[in-house]
Structure 1
Amino acid sequence: MSLFLILDLIGMMLLMVLGVPVIYAVLGAALIYFLGHAELSTLVMMQQVQTALRSFPLLAIPFFILAGTVMARGGIADKIMSFAYVLVGHWRGGLAQVGVLNSLVMGSMSGSAVADAAVDSRILVPQMRKRGYSLGFSAAIAAASSVIAPILPPSTSLILYGLLGQVSVAALFLGGVVPALVIAVSLMALVAVISRIRAYGSIQERKSTWGEKGRAFIDCFWALMMPVILVGGIRTGLFTITELAAMAAIYTLLVSVFIYRTMSLADLWDVLKDTAKTSATVLIIIGASGAFSYIFAIEQVPLKIITWLSTVSDSPTVILMIVCLGLTLLGMVIEGAAVMIIGAPILVGIATHFGIDPVHMGVLVVVTLTFSTLTPPVGIVMFTVCSMTGCRIETFLKEMLPFYAVLFTILALLVIFPQLVTTLPTWLGR
């Protein structure tokens, strides 16, 4: 790796830390590298950017973003929250339990930690405060439970890694299901313990009857069919990922406009504008990844890193521990999307060389970078929740300590037991 490239990457990281948007930092760093080498042309850089965007599966990203935007505006999130109340409202710490369960269901529709955290901050946290929960604990629940969303289909992060690393997106989707369930169960157990210690009560004096659960299920039926369509489409192979994304977008529109009638056709223009802005940001970053992949190939960065790792250990478990530690540290100071874009070619090479299942590697990368969104100094979920709830950062971090312990313990288990990730894709033949 040349000194020029090292300085270039350091400069890019500094720009991100200083608040420069990821797009400008990544593209700017790539441009500086090309300008600094007389034998390279900036036309080559633009060709690499265009090549990275010439991928039909990339259409899945704006479609899934559209589906998530419609859900947030179309009242589907409120329906899911009401259903969660009926199921776990009688448990100790009922509102906090609702937050975790809501994130599990919402995550299988939005695929975005920020979107999920924003919904909980807007709807759940004010209700928790009225019920006597501390602001710090309420904010911590909204943040910690949001990490479930990017691990479940239709996760944009899993799609991004799959496209950059040429790994089956369908297999990555299925690989994230069990880890997401493990996280949800673990968080609910932790909430039960904390609620017992702090005497947080339930929101219902009695357990809901089967009749009440049935009525809540019927009211929420069309919202709950979304994950069924996603998993069914992947399992049967009836749709490609792109076609499945289009179906998800159409389905959420039809449900919101014609069944729940919580969104009018007049709202569609604003929804499409929000989708276009978000999609453009993601796609430009993907284009920048093409330029960096070309740079890394010239510098033989993957080969050099693999050679170094080979001197440390030949154990896949040890290698994955090192990778997760490195990604955690990087994710604490750099936007996760940028880390994935820069690192995907290297990570795929590491997986291939050390015999690591590419699906296992992909899910671990997404889980690790998602957890990093909860940590200072640039954790986007942390800042989203604190800004929307008015919680001070230091208060938030204090309340997050037991959640950090649980989440990073789960990460270690995912490293040690790859079957937690690979069993479902293997069993379903994806």
Structure 2
Amino acid sequence: MLITGFLFFFLLILGVPIAFVLLGASVAYFAMNPMMASIIAQRMASSLESFPLLAVPFFIFAGAAMARGGIAHKLYGLAEGLVGHWRGGLAQVAVMNSLFLGAMSGSSNADAAIEARTIAPIMRERGYSNAFASVVSASSSVVAPIMPPSIGLIVYGLLTNTSIGKLFIGGIIPAFLITISMLITVRIVSKKRGYGAMREKRMPAPEIMTRARTALWALAMPVLLLVGLRGGWFTPTELGAIAAVYALLVGLFIYRGFRIRDVYSMLTESAHTTAGVMLILAAASVFSMILALEQLPQSMLEALLGLTDNKYLLLLIINIALLLLGTVLEGLALLVILAPLLLDVINNLGIDPVHFGIVMVFNTTIGSVTPPVGTVLYTVCSITKCSIEEFTVEFLPFFLALVLVLLALVFIPPLVTFLPNLLF
């Protein structure tokens, strides 16, 4: 196990993709026992024989169709009508737009890329600094993996055998809290910088309603999700298929954001993304078996319980550790490696796995925006050409706001569990 651990951290330091880090360490472990070598392929294959996993490619394709289908433009118009009159109006629009897009894509990287390409250039033209525009694009995208349908929540649900439907519903209130915290932060920073509103007065209600009607087909997606899951009409996996078909039809025939010939490239893009996620999950299943064989979860449980038996204090310790790890490890990697390990800990303390799942996904998503190893950070900065140093300085107040929301979710579980308990 010592060689396996050394190889694991060595490959991480080299920057090897997480799937190959897990596979490399697993091969080294089973090489010590040739009789068990065949387990690797068997375990990888069997881990993917899961009906709920079908939701992943469906939602990924739905997100791609929503991004290309002209939906982002319709949502931008609605967001501009709602908050364009606030101080820092264009940045407020970016935050509100992320909430809408998050209900379509479920991916912070996709959300941030759309914002960085569409709204950030306009913000620079209106006098906002490039660093501020970049930070708003990245920070507001944190809501996407919390707002259903979320790929991160699906992965957590599969890894811990937690109801994906409850996780989806549990993310709704936290998503709105994140959005409100970003709107407030933008307002405070804009006041200090002198960033003004997009218009002097609130947009008339009839015009807002007109824009809402224009974006109605886009806004119907989360409503479809809530009503369908609550009514028991379909499972999260079936919802993924419905969402994919819905996004395709809306993009093709209603908003006409792409044509039939563009569908192939969307399918290719979605297949590449899905393959990456599936490879990580397959590799993680082998690595998790090693951890079980070595009884590492039990050792971790004993160590953590030796610190304190207060579940809230233990949650605080775990979240501080996750925030620190998130600065150097990719969020999905942390989720895949640690979620199965921490499951025994939270079950032993009577912590709701739905509550912990939302907290963990949110925590690891904050890490994706935080230097030095933030995937969303690098996605945005590569598009806006913002330096990491400038981004980091501008990000501090937004980081503080996100951490405050995280602490609220940790210490006030009903913020997460109220809706799932009510609806299920």
Q: TM-score range by the shorter chain?
A: over 0.9
Percent of residue pairs identical: 46
TM-score scaled by length of structure 2: 0.98
Q: Does 1:136 align with 2:131?
A: yes
**2:242 corresponding residue in structure 1:** 247
Q: Show the counterpart of 2:273.
A: 278
Mapped pair 1:67 → 2:62? yes
Kindly provide the amino acid, as one letter, of the partner of residue 226 in structure 2: V
- The letter of the residue matching 2:147 is L
TM-score (norm 1): 0.96
SS at structure 1 position matched to 2:215: helix
Counterpart code for 2:2: L
Q: Which range moves more in the overlay, 202-211 or 416-425?
A: 202-211
Q: Greater CA deviation, 189-198 or 141-150? A: 189-198
User: Using the alignment, how far apart are the partners of 1:65 and 1:312 within structure 2?
Assistant: 41
Pick aligned residue for 1:269 from 260, 264, 272? 264
Distance (Å, rounded) in 1 between the aligned partners of 2:229 and 2:296: 35
Match of 2:7 in 1: 8
Which residue of the partner structure matches residue 19 of structure 2? 23
Q: Please give the per-residue CA displacement for 1:224-273, whole angstroms capped at 9, x wherever unaligned.
A: 11111111112212111110000000001110101111211111000000
Structure 2 spans left out of the alignment, 5+ residues: none
Aligned twin of 2:158: 163
Residues 203-242 of structure 1: pairs in structure 2 closer than 5 A: 203-242=198-237
Query: Are 1:427 and 2:422 matched, yes or no?
Result: yes
Q: Secondary structure at the match of 1:123?
A: helix
Once the two structures are superposed, the pairs formed by residues 359-370 of structure 1 within 5 Å of their partners are 359-370=354-365
SS in 2 for 1:333: coil
Structure 1 distance, partners of 2:35, 2:6, is 18
Query: Could you say which residue in structure 2 is the equivalent of 1:32?
Result: 28
Q: What's the CA shift for 1:6?
A: 2.8
Partner of 2:319: 324
Deviation at 1:206, TM superposition (A): 2.3
AA partner of residue 201 (structure 2): R
Superposed CA RMSD in Å reads 1.1
Instruction: State the Cα deviation string for residues 384-411 of structure 1 (Å, max 9, x = none).
Output: 1111001111000000010111111111
Match for residue 111 of structure 1? 106
Whole-angstrom distance in 2 between the partners of 1:288 and 1:322:
28
CA contact (8 A) 2:5 2:25 kept: no
Letter in 2 for 1:10: F
1:335-357 Cα distance to aligned partner (Å, 9 max, x none): 22122111121111111111111
> Residue 307 of structure 1 corresponds to which residue in structure 2?
302
Q: After alignment, is 245-254 or 184-193 more displaced?
A: 184-193
Q: Which residue of 2 aligns with 1:56?
A: 51
1:195 maps to 190
Length, aligned pairs only: 424
1:22 shift after superposition: 2.1
SS at match of 1:150: coil
2:217 alignment partner AA: W
1:8 and 1:33 in contact (8 A); partners too: no
| 1:78 matched residue in structure 2 | 73
User: Amino acid of the residue matched to residue 195 of structure 1?
Assistant: S
Structure 1 residue 333: Cα displacement? 1.4
Per the TM alignment, residue 290 of structure 1 is displaced from its structure 2 partner at its CA by 1.1
1:344 aligns with 2:344: no
**3-state SS in 2 of match to 1:8:** helix
Q: Which runs of 5+ in 1 are unaligned?
A: none
Match of 1:151 among 146, 150, 167: 146
Contact 1:12–1:26, Cα closer than 8 Å, also in 2: no
- Which residue identity does 1:13 align to in structure 2? L
* Contact 1:11–1:29 (Cα < 8 Å) also in 2: no
Contact 2:95 2:140 in 1 (8 A): yes
Secondary structure (helix, strand or coil) at the match of 1:109 reads: helix
- Aligned residue for 1:314, secondary structure, equals coil
Letter in 2 for 1:81: Y
